[in-house]
Amino acid sequence: MTQLSSPPSPVPPSDIPSALAGTAATPDASAHLEETGGDAETGRLVIVSNRVANLRSTGQAGGLAVGLAETLKERDGIWFGWNGAPDGVTGGEVQVERVGPAEQVTVPLSPKDVAGYYLGYANSVLWPLFHYRLDLVDYRPAFYESYQRVNETFARQLAPFLKDDDLIWVHDYHLIPLARCLRKAGCRQRIGFFLHIPFPPPDILVASPNHAELVEALLDYDVIGFQTQADAVNLKAYLAERSPAVQLDDTRFRVGTRTVTIDRFPIGIDAKGFAAMTREADDEVQIDLMRRQVLGRRQIIGVDRLDYSKGLPERLKAFDRLMAQHPELEKSVTYLQVAPPTREKVGAYGDIRAELEALVGAINGRLADFNWTPIRYIHRSVDRAKLAPLMRGSQVGFVTPLRDGMNLVAKEYVAAQDPADPGVLVLSRFAGAAEEMHEALLVNPYDIDEMARTLYQALTMPLAERRRRHEALLDHVMRHDARAWQEAFLAALSGATGSAARPQQAPS
Ligand code: ADQ
């Protein structure tokens, strides 16, 4: 295994798709590979994702990256993924950095595969398809070829690192065929897959020319985990209609000689850690909070990547409608929307940005006064140490994606609140979080009137009701945190009996 002498420049973190990849790895060129000893009972944990969280500096990362990184350090293992540079050679040199007992293993991709696998099939086909946006799918055969090629290459590069009793946990839609490719490379370890985004119903899935191959590839995993029951039901419905897989019980299927578990594992956040961050507001945030307190202004907050799935134009329209219906709220309510750029090289993302900017300009132009800007729109990433106190200082958390796997911001907003005087969460029915967060005010994100009415309800909700709702939500978010999620998934994977032939055959 050769080491690179200088790390390639990573793509901006804003171009990293999921919360999993919230921190861009900056590999250390002096790192070198050593043999790792795994725990005989549980085996090592091998995490595979498109991007690798930086195990060295998880301080500012999301709960997910921190949680997984911690688990990795405790269990010993590997985190494998793309190095994030747009200008490498697919199949080129592997870079290994040891961090404590764990290793970060990163691999390069060629510009052609960044365009075909990452921007193309993953983010121009699977992302819109899985978010029920057939109108935005840009299907091209070359994208699928690149997607397959990258998965095969990743499998070939990962296989030599694996030990017989490793547990392999693959994340997200970029890597659906990875288990199939690993099996072809001779790997017989238990392999689990977790999809962070929604899984669509059969009628939508079959719009992809590759739906049969994708589902067949999924069935090479031992455990297939989804955010919600609805997602799991969608795959089961597809299998019932179109696959010879035999359902054994609620979660287990017989696929040939193997048993595959399909279940929901709703993701959580590091709720305690996020709550703790609210107590450390820096001067800028404190001054902003004090200013609003003096002026008696309440704040609605939204925090999202600038993605068309997040329903941002609809939110702006709902705020506008609220102001039209309740002019008495003028100058007493502001809406802060943080929406950093993401995947700007994908065409559909340019359109959403232009639409949002036009809306913000039009609404502010009509309503603003010299001493009141109704919408504050921040088009860049904000440090989590600022975000947490900003959420705490906001009376409404406005989280209304048109479709979302889970939505961690909904959980972060709840964790950030002051239990004695909490704000109200307004949440889309179509976020996975709605399956668990019943005490939020649930809305249809396409229904502007309903959202405007619900914003008003949130802004005028009596303290006793706010506390009652928040107490139940907080209890849920604290108990079902990131660690509970990992433990549940890994317990299912450890107990899986799916792969017929063990021990591992040596990869060729
Ligand atoms: P995302 O689509 O990225 O994640 P989300 O679940 O909201 O959506 O996670 C975003 C994370 O990034 C949150 O921790 C949030 O605080 C942070 N973030 C967002 N905007 C930010 C900003 N401006 N500055 C700093 N941090 C910001 C995907 C799926 C989701 C699923 C997650 C986890 O699309 O449905 O919940 O993975 O599985």
> 366 alpha carbon to ligand 1 midpoint, in Å?
31
Name the token pair of 249: 């019980």
Cα(28)–Cα(276) distance, integer angstroms: 31
Q: Which helix (H) or strand (E) holds 301?
A: strand 298-303
Residue 42: what pLDDT? 67
pLDDT tens for each residue of 77-95: 999 999 999 999 999 999 9
When pLDDT is cut at 50, 70 and 90, the band that residue 503 belongs to is very low
Q: Which helix (H) or strand (E) holds 302?
A: strand 298-303
Residue 324: what pLDDT? 98
Question: Which spans in 76-222 are helix H?
Answer: 111-113, 127-130, 141-158, 178-184, 202-205, 211-218
Collapsed DSSP state (helix, strand, coil) of residue 418 = coil
Q: Is the pLDDT at 19 greater than 90, yes or no?
A: no
Cα(24)–Cα(14) distance, integer angstroms: 9
The torsion angle over the Cα atoms of residues 189, 190, 191 and 192, rounded to 10 degrees, is: -170
- Using CB distances shorter than 6 Å, the residues near ligand 1 are 18-19, 62, 64, 196-197, 267, 303-305, 338, 340, 381-382, 384, 387, 404-409, 412
Query: What's phi and psi for 372, nearest 5 deg?
Result: -155, 120
Q: Which of 404, 470, 476, 481 is catalytic?
A: 404
Angle at 244 between CA 241 and CA 245, to 5 degrees: 95
Annotation says 87 is catalytic: no
Kindly give, in sequence order, each residue whose CB lies less than 8 Å from that of residue 450, ignoring residues fewer than 6 positions away: 443, 444
> 382 alpha carbon to ligand 1 midpoint, in Å?
12
Within a 13 Å sphere around the CA of 430, how many CA atoms are in the beta-carbon half? 17
Cα(480)–Cα(483) distance, integer angstroms: 8
Look at ligand 1, atom 22, and give the residue with the nearest C-alpha.
Answer: 381
DSSP state of 403: S
Q: Which of 264, 305, 413 to mutate to test the pocket of ligand 1 (most atoms within 8 A of CB)?
A: 305
Atom of ligand 1 nearest to the CA of 382: 24
Once rounded to an integer, what is the mean pLDDT over residues 156-185? 97
Averaged confidence pLDDT in the chain: 88
Residue 360: what pLDDT? 98
Residue 232: what pLDDT? 98
> 233 alpha carbon to ligand 1 midpoint, in Å?
24
Residue 69: what pLDDT? 74
Q: Is the pLDDT at 9 greater than 60, yes or no?
A: no
Annotation says 196 is catalytic: yes
Cα(140)–Cα(461) distance, integer angstroms: 50
Within a 13 Å sphere around the CA of 163, how many CA atoms are in the beta-carbon half? 16
Cα(253)–Cα(436) distance, integer angstroms: 26
Residue 465: what pLDDT? 98
Percent of the chain surpassing pLDDT 70 = 87
Between 317 and 505, whose confidence is greater? 317
pLDDT tens for each residue of 284-301: 888 888 899 888 899 999
Phi-psi region of 407 (alpha: psi -120 to 50; beta: other; left: phi over 0): left
pLDDT tens for each residue of 25-68: 222 222 222 333 334 346 899 999 999 977 776 544 554 666 67
Query: Of 235, 209, 49, 202, whose CA–CA distance to 140 is shortest?
Result: 209
pLDDT tens for each residue of 465-478: 999 999 999 999 99
Once rounded to an integer, what is the mean pLDDT over residues 179-198? 97
Residue 62: what pLDDT? 53
Q: Is the pLDDT at 74 greater than 80, yes or no?
A: no
Name the token pair of 135: 């109108």
Residue 57: what pLDDT? 64
DSSP state of 336: E
Once rounded to an integer, what is the mean pLDDT over residues 232-236? 98
Q: Which of 258-262, 297-301, 382-386, 485-489 has the lowest mean pLDDT?
A: 382-386
When pLDDT is cut at 50, 70 and 90, the band that residue 453 belongs to is very high
Residue 6: what pLDDT? 29
Q: What is the pTM of this model?
A: 0.91
How many CB atoms sit inside 10 A of residue 141's CB?
10
Kindly give, in sequence order, each residue whose CB lies less than 8 Å from that of residue 62, ignoring residues fewer than 6 positions away: 19, 22, 269, 384, 408
- Full set of structural domains in the chain with CATH: 13-268+483-494 (3.40.50.2000), 271-480 (3.40.50.2000)
pLDDT tens for each residue of 387-401: 999 999 999 999 999
Strands 333-338 and 375-378: parallel
Q: Are 50 and 174 in contact (CB under 8 A)?
A: yes
DSSP 191-259: EEEE--S----HHHHTTSTTHHHHHHHHTTSSEEEESSHHHHHHHHHHHHHH---EE-SSSEEEETTEE
Q: Are 51 and 196 in contact (CB under 8 A)?
A: no
Cα(419)–Cα(215) distance, integer angstroms: 44
Atom of ligand 1 nearest to the CA of 433: 36
Q: Which of 303, 376, 425, 427 to mutate to test the pocket of ligand 1 (most atoms within 8 A of CB)?
A: 303
Q: Is the pLDDT at 14 greater than 60, yes or no?
A: no
Once rounded to an integer, what is the mean pLDDT over residues 273-284? 89
Between 56 and 409, whose confidence is greater? 409
> 66 alpha carbon to ligand 1 midpoint, in Å?
14
Residue 5: what pLDDT? 28
When pLDDT is cut at 50, 70 and 90, the band that residue 220 belongs to is very high
> 143 alpha carbon to ligand 1 midpoint, in Å?
25
**CB neighbour class for 29 (10 Å; exposed up to 12, middle 13-18, buried from 19):** exposed
Residue 282: what pLDDT? 86
Kindly give, in sequence order, each residue whose CB lies less than 8 Å from that of residue 133, ignoring residues fewer than 6 positions away: 308, 309, 403
Residue 171: what pLDDT? 97
> 299 alpha carbon to ligand 1 midpoint, in Å?
21
Q: Which helix (H) or strand (E) holds 314?
A: helix 312-325
Cα(385)–Cα(340) distance, integer angstroms: 16
Query: What's phi and psi for 245, nearest 5 deg?
Result: -60, 140
Between 352 and 457, whose confidence is greater? 457
Residue 498: what pLDDT? 57
Atom of ligand 1 nearest to the CA of 338: 23
